[in-house]
Amino acid sequence: MTRVALPEYQVMIDWDATNWADTPTFAGDDDISEDVAYIDLSRGKEKEEGNAPASYCQVKLKAGLCEKYSPYKNARMRIWLPVRVRARHSSDTGFPRPVFFGYLSAVRINPNPNRQTVSLYVTDGLDLLARQVLRQDYNTRTSLNPGGAITRIANAAGWPSGRRRIDNSEGSILDYPVTGSY
Protein backbone atom coordinates (compact mmCIF):
# COMPACT_ATOMS: atom_id res chain seq x y z
CA MET A 1 0.00 0.00 0.00
CA THR A 2 1.37 3.40 -1.02
CA ARG A 3 0.99 6.22 1.47
CA VAL A 4 0.29 9.70 0.20
CA ALA A 5 1.95 12.50 2.14
CA LEU A 6 -0.49 14.89 3.76
CA PRO A 7 -0.09 18.56 2.91
CA GLU A 8 1.42 21.08 5.29
CA TYR A 9 -0.83 24.06 5.90
CA GLN A 10 -0.03 27.73 6.34
CA VAL A 11 -2.64 29.83 8.15
CA MET A 12 -2.31 33.61 8.06
CA ILE A 13 -4.44 36.28 9.79
CA ASP A 14 -4.02 39.93 8.75
CA TRP A 15 -3.97 41.40 12.27
CA ASP A 16 -3.57 44.96 10.95
CA ALA A 17 -6.64 44.92 8.67
CA THR A 18 -9.08 47.75 9.35
CA ASN A 19 -11.45 47.34 6.38
CA TRP A 20 -12.58 43.98 5.01
CA ALA A 21 -12.54 45.33 1.44
CA ASP A 22 -8.85 46.34 1.56
CA THR A 23 -6.20 44.01 0.17
CA PRO A 24 -4.68 42.09 3.10
CA THR A 25 -0.93 42.30 3.66
CA PHE A 26 -0.26 39.01 5.50
CA ALA A 27 3.14 40.14 6.78
CA GLY A 28 5.12 40.11 10.00
CA ASP A 29 3.54 38.00 12.75
CA ASP A 30 0.44 37.12 10.69
CA ASP A 31 1.52 33.45 10.34
CA ILE A 32 -0.20 31.35 13.04
CA SER A 33 0.61 27.96 11.45
CA GLU A 34 2.64 26.77 14.45
CA ASP A 35 -0.45 27.14 16.68
CA VAL A 36 -2.78 25.08 14.44
CA ALA A 37 -3.85 21.58 15.53
CA TYR A 38 -6.15 20.82 12.58
CA ILE A 39 -8.27 22.40 9.84
CA ASP A 40 -11.81 21.47 8.77
CA LEU A 41 -13.19 22.82 5.48
CA SER A 42 -16.70 22.81 4.03
CA ARG A 43 -17.62 24.13 0.60
CA GLY A 44 -20.87 24.43 -1.32
CA LYS A 45 -24.12 22.55 -1.09
CA GLU A 46 -24.36 19.12 0.41
CA LYS A 47 -27.70 18.49 -1.31
CA GLU A 48 -29.64 20.05 -4.14
CA GLU A 49 -32.61 21.16 -2.06
CA GLY A 50 -32.64 24.29 0.06
CA ASN A 51 -30.25 27.18 0.38
CA ALA A 52 -26.53 26.89 -0.20
CA PRO A 53 -24.63 27.69 2.99
CA ALA A 54 -21.51 29.80 2.88
CA SER A 55 -18.24 27.92 2.77
CA TYR A 56 -16.40 27.80 6.05
CA CYS A 57 -13.07 26.82 7.50
CA GLN A 58 -12.66 25.82 11.14
CA VAL A 59 -9.13 26.25 12.49
CA LYS A 60 -8.70 24.42 15.79
CA LEU A 61 -5.66 25.59 17.70
CA LYS A 62 -3.36 23.59 19.95
CA ALA A 63 -4.29 23.34 23.63
CA GLY A 64 -3.23 26.06 26.05
CA LEU A 65 -3.59 29.07 23.73
CA CYS A 66 -6.76 30.55 25.27
CA GLU A 67 -5.13 33.74 26.51
CA LYS A 68 -3.16 34.33 23.30
CA TYR A 69 -6.30 34.20 21.13
CA SER A 70 -8.88 35.58 23.56
CA PRO A 71 -10.56 38.82 22.37
CA TYR A 72 -10.48 39.93 26.01
CA LYS A 73 -6.69 39.50 26.33
CA ASN A 74 -5.62 40.23 22.74
CA ALA A 75 -6.98 43.51 21.36
CA ARG A 76 -6.07 42.50 17.80
CA MET A 77 -8.37 39.46 17.90
CA ARG A 78 -11.65 40.58 16.33
CA ILE A 79 -14.13 39.31 13.77
CA TRP A 80 -13.93 40.07 10.03
CA LEU A 81 -10.14 39.86 9.92
CA PRO A 82 -8.95 38.38 6.60
CA VAL A 83 -7.67 34.79 6.89
CA ARG A 84 -5.76 32.85 4.23
CA VAL A 85 -5.06 29.11 4.23
CA ARG A 86 -2.55 27.64 1.79
CA ALA A 87 -1.12 24.14 1.41
CA ARG A 88 2.19 22.66 0.38
CA HIS A 89 2.71 19.04 -0.58
CA SER A 90 6.08 17.34 -0.19
CA SER A 91 6.94 18.00 -3.85
CA ASP A 92 6.13 21.74 -3.65
CA THR A 93 8.42 24.59 -2.79
CA GLY A 94 6.81 27.43 -0.85
CA PHE A 95 3.04 27.64 -0.34
CA PRO A 96 1.64 27.95 -3.87
CA ARG A 97 -1.73 26.24 -3.41
CA PRO A 98 -4.53 28.43 -2.10
CA VAL A 99 -7.01 26.39 -0.05
CA PHE A 100 -9.31 28.98 1.53
CA PHE A 101 -9.65 32.74 1.81
CA GLY A 102 -12.24 34.26 4.09
CA TYR A 103 -12.97 36.30 7.18
CA LEU A 104 -12.88 35.44 10.85
CA SER A 105 -16.53 35.17 11.87
CA ALA A 106 -16.32 33.64 15.37
CA VAL A 107 -13.87 32.64 18.08
CA ARG A 108 -14.90 29.82 20.41
CA ILE A 109 -12.84 29.38 23.59
CA ASN A 110 -13.15 26.61 26.15
CA PRO A 111 -11.09 27.82 29.13
CA ASN A 112 -11.62 24.63 31.17
CA PRO A 113 -8.11 23.72 32.48
CA ASN A 114 -8.61 20.09 31.45
CA ARG A 115 -9.77 20.91 27.90
CA GLN A 116 -8.43 24.31 26.89
CA THR A 117 -9.25 24.80 23.24
CA VAL A 118 -9.63 27.66 20.81
CA SER A 119 -11.48 27.32 17.50
CA LEU A 120 -11.45 30.02 14.86
CA TYR A 121 -14.37 29.96 12.43
CA VAL A 122 -13.65 31.53 9.06
CA THR A 123 -16.39 32.13 6.52
CA ASP A 124 -16.08 33.01 2.86
CA GLY A 125 -16.93 36.35 1.31
CA LEU A 126 -20.49 35.34 0.40
CA ASP A 127 -21.45 35.30 4.08
CA LEU A 128 -20.01 38.77 4.50
CA LEU A 129 -21.79 39.96 1.36
CA ALA A 130 -25.10 38.55 2.63
CA ARG A 131 -24.83 40.75 5.73
CA GLN A 132 -24.67 43.98 3.70
CA VAL A 133 -27.71 46.22 3.44
CA LEU A 134 -28.23 47.39 -0.14
CA ARG A 135 -30.62 49.96 -1.51
CA GLN A 136 -32.03 49.92 -5.01
CA ASP A 137 -32.86 53.00 -7.07
CA TYR A 138 -36.20 52.08 -8.64
CA ASN A 139 -35.80 54.77 -11.33
CA THR A 140 -32.71 53.13 -12.83
CA ARG A 141 -33.81 49.49 -12.96
CA THR A 142 -32.78 47.68 -16.12
CA SER A 143 -32.77 44.12 -17.32
CA LEU A 144 -29.43 42.43 -16.67
CA ASN A 145 -27.88 39.05 -17.16
CA PRO A 146 -27.06 37.23 -13.90
CA GLY A 147 -23.37 38.21 -14.04
CA GLY A 148 -24.27 41.88 -14.46
CA ALA A 149 -26.67 41.74 -11.53
CA ILE A 150 -24.05 40.09 -9.31
CA THR A 151 -21.52 42.73 -10.37
CA ARG A 152 -23.93 45.52 -9.35
CA ILE A 153 -24.56 43.88 -5.97
CA ALA A 154 -20.83 43.43 -5.33
CA ASN A 155 -20.18 47.06 -6.33
CA ALA A 156 -22.95 48.33 -4.03
CA ALA A 157 -21.54 46.29 -1.12
CA GLY A 158 -18.05 47.72 -1.68
CA TRP A 159 -16.50 44.44 -2.82
CA PRO A 160 -13.25 45.34 -4.64
CA SER A 161 -13.36 44.45 -8.34
CA GLY A 162 -9.79 43.15 -8.20
CA ARG A 163 -10.80 40.46 -5.72
CA ARG A 164 -13.62 38.82 -7.66
CA ARG A 165 -14.16 36.89 -10.87
CA ILE A 166 -17.70 36.87 -12.28
CA ASP A 167 -18.72 35.09 -15.47
CA ASN A 168 -20.79 37.62 -17.44
CA SER A 169 -20.91 35.55 -20.62
CA GLU A 170 -23.66 33.13 -19.59
CA GLY A 171 -22.11 30.82 -22.16
CA SER A 172 -20.42 28.44 -19.76
CA ILE A 173 -23.47 27.68 -17.64
CA LEU A 174 -24.56 24.08 -18.17
CA ASP A 175 -28.14 22.90 -17.90
CA TYR A 176 -28.92 19.94 -15.67
CA PRO A 177 -29.63 16.82 -17.71
CA VAL A 178 -33.29 16.14 -18.30
CA THR A 179 -34.48 13.27 -16.13
CA GLY A 180 -37.75 11.50 -15.87
CA SER A 181 -39.36 8.35 -14.68
CA TYR A 182 -40.75 5.73 -17.05
pLDDT, tens digit (0-9, with 9 covering 90-100), for 89-108: 777 777 678 888 888 989 99
Answer yes or no: do 88 and 139 share one domain: no
H/E run at residue 180: none
Residues 6+ apart with CB under 8 A from 62: 35, 36, 37
The distance between the two most distant Cα atoms of the chain, rounded to a whole number of Å, is 66
Domain span including residue 58: 8-129
**pTM metric for this prediction:** 0.71
Answer yes or no: do 86 and 149 share one domain: no
Domain presence at residue 113: yes
pLDDT, tens digit (0-9, with 9 covering 90-100), for 7-65: 788 999 999 998 877 888 998 899 999 999 989 988 765 655 656 566 789 999 998 89
